[in-house]
Amino acid sequence: MTLMHLSLTEQSVFVLAALVLLSSFALLAQTRLLSAVHAFAWQGALVAAVTALMASAGDEPHLYLSAALTLTLKALLIPWMLHRLIRRLALERHVETVRRPAVITLAGAAIVVFCYWVVLPIARLELAATRNILAISLSVVLLGLLMMVARRQAVSQVIGFMSMENGLFLAAAAATGGMPLVVELGVAFDVLVAAVLFGVFFLQIRDSIDSLDVDRLNRLTETDTTTVPGTEARP
Amino acid sequence: MIALLVAVFTPALGAALLAVLPNLTLAGWLNVALAATSVGGAVTLAVEILNSGALTAHGFHIDAFNIYLVVLTAFIGLTTAIFSRPYMSHVCQSGRVSRTHMRLYHAMFQGFMFTMLVALTTNNLGVLWVAVEGATLATVLLVSLYRTPEAVEAAWKYFILCGVGIAQALFGTVLVYFAAQHALPDPSAGLTWTTLHAHAAQLHPTVMSIAFVFLLVGYGTKVGLVPLHNWLPDAHSEGPTPMSAVLSGLLLNIGLYAIVRLKMLTDGALAQGTNPHLAGQLMMGFGLLSFVVAGLFLHRQRDIKRMFSYSSIEHMGLMTFAFGIGGPLATFGALLHMLVHSLTKSAIFVTVGHATHVAGTQAIDHIRGLIRTQPAVGWGLLIGVVAISGFPPFGVFTSEFLLLSATMQYWPWLTPILLTGLVIAFAGLFRHLQPMVYGAAPIEQRAVRANMLPVALHLGLVLWLGLAIPGFLSRWLDQATQLIAGSHLL
B283: pLDDT strictly greater than 80: yes
Residue B206 is nearest to which of A122, A175, A224, comparing CB atoms? A122
CA–CA gap between residue B230 and residue B161 (Å, rounded): 8
User: Using a CB-CB distance cutoff of 8 angstroms, which residues of chain B are in contact with residue A187?
Assistant: 126, 129-130, 170
Q: What is the pLDDT of residues B289-301, one digit of tens each?
A: 999 999 998 888 8
By the 10 Å C-beta count (0-12 exposed, 13-18 middle, 19+ buried), B50 is classed as middle
Whether the predicted pLDDT of B470 surpasses 70: yes
CB contact under 8 A, A235 and B168: no
Domain contains A1 = no
Which pairs count as long-range contacts for A13-16, CB under 8 Å and 24+ apart, including other chains? A13/A50, A13/A53, A13/A54, A13/A57, A13/A133, A13/A174, A14/A132, A14/A133, A16/A46, A16/A49, A16/A50, A16/A53
- Does A100 map to a domain? yes
> Do residues B338 and B251 make contact, with C-beta atoms less than 8 angstroms apart?
no
Residue A140 located in a structural domain: yes
3-class secondary structure, B23: coil
In this prediction, residue A125 carries a pLDDT of 61
At residue B400, the pLDDT reads 92
Number of domains in chain A: 1
A196 falls within a domain: yes
User: φ and ψ at B362, to 5 degrees?
Assistant: -100, 0
Task: Encode pLDDT of A171-196 as tens digits.
Answer: 888 777 777 877 888 888 888 888 88
Q: Does the structure show a pLDDT above 50 at A233? A: no
CA dist., res. B419 & res. B411, Å (int): 13
Q: At B414, which helix (H) or strand (E)?
A: none
Q: What integer is the mean pLDDT of A17-31?
A: 88
* Most B CBs within 10 Å, among A183, A185, A187, to test the B interface: A183
Give the residue numbers spanning the domain of A95.
12-216
Of chain B, the percentage scoring pLDDT greater than 90 comes to 31
pLDDT value for B118: 92
pLDDT class of A223 with cuts at 50, 70, 90: low
Q: Give yes or no for residue A151 having a pLDDT over 70.
A: yes
**pLDDT at residue B256 tops 90:** yes
pLDDT at A80: 92
Query: pLDDT value at position A124?
Result: 64
pLDDT in tens, A72-111: 988 899 999 888 888 888 877 777 777 788 888 899 999 9
pLDDT of residue B238: 86
d(CA B345, CA B432): 17
User: What pLDDT does A127 receive?
Assistant: 55
Res. A3: pLDDT tops 90: no
Alpha helix (H) residue ranges in B122-225: 125-143, 149-181, 193-198, 205-223
pLDDT at B374: 86
How many interface pairs between A and B have CB atoms less than 8 angstroms apart? 179
Kindly indicate the confidence band of residue B9, based on its pLDDT and cuts at 50, 70 and 90.
Answer: confident
Q: Residue A2: its pLDDT value, please?
A: 57
Does residue A115 fall inside a structural domain?
yes
Question: Does the pLDDT at position A224 exceed 70?
Answer: no
Residue A189 lies in a domain: yes
What is d(CA B354, CA A134) in angstroms, rounded to the nearest whole number?
51
Least confident of A83-97, B149-163, B253-267, B318-332: A83-97
User: ipTM above 0.95?
Assistant: no
Q: Does residue A223 lie in a domain region?
A: no
Give the B window 241-270 contacts with A, CB below 8 Å: 241
- Give the Cα separation of B323 and B330 in Å (integer): 7
Residue B291 CB neighbours (<10 A): 26
Domain presence at residue A5: no
CB contact under 8 A, B171 and A229: no
Using pLDDT thresholds of 50, 70 and 90, give the confidence band for residue A128: low
- Residue B127 and residue B134: Cα distance in Å, rounded? 10
User: Is the pLDDT at B208 greater than 80, yes or no?
Assistant: yes
Q: Quick check: A193 and B127 CB within 8 A?
A: no
Using an 8 Å CB-CB cutoff, list chain B residues near A127.
Answer: 182
For residue A227, is pLDDT > 50?
no
Pick the closest to residue B433 from B358, B355, B373 (CA basis): B355
Task: Say if residue A229's pLDDT is above 50.
Answer: no
Report pLDDT for A231. 42
What distance in Å separates the CA atoms of residue A198 and residue A235, rounded to the nearest whole number?
A: 33
pLDDT surpassing 90 at residue B450: no
